[in-house]
Amino acid sequence: MKNRLKVLRAERDWSQGDLAAQLGISRQSVNAIETGKYDPSLPLAFRIADLFGLTIEAIFLRD
């Protein structure tokens, strides 16, 4: 699944580690989500959306 996570993170000048710490996941998980190798669970997708103040649909895009 495509997503805007890397762009949103960069706009806030956060490293993958910064984002991972805020979400309670590993940096490797953030990398896997950003590169499309891993789709987050629905609860994680909601946490990501809440953190950025956006809807899930505004971050995660259908292929």
Q: How many domains does the chain have?
A: 1
pLDDT at residue 62, as a whole number = 84
Determine the longest span between alpha carbons in the chain, in angstroms. Answer: 28
Cα–Cα separations (whole angstroms), residue 60 to 5, 15, 29, 39: 8, 19, 16, 9
Judge whether 9 lies within some domain: yes
Taking the C-alpha atoms of residue 29 and residue 31, their distance in angstroms, rounded to an integer, is 5
Q: pLDDT by residue (tens digit) across 5-58?
A: 999 999 999 999 999 999 999 999 999 999 999 999 999 999 999 999 999 999
Judge whether 44 lies within some domain: yes
Judge whether 51 lies within some domain: yes
Range of the domain at 24: 2-58
CATH at 24:
1.10.260.40
Element of type H or E holding 2:
strand 2-3
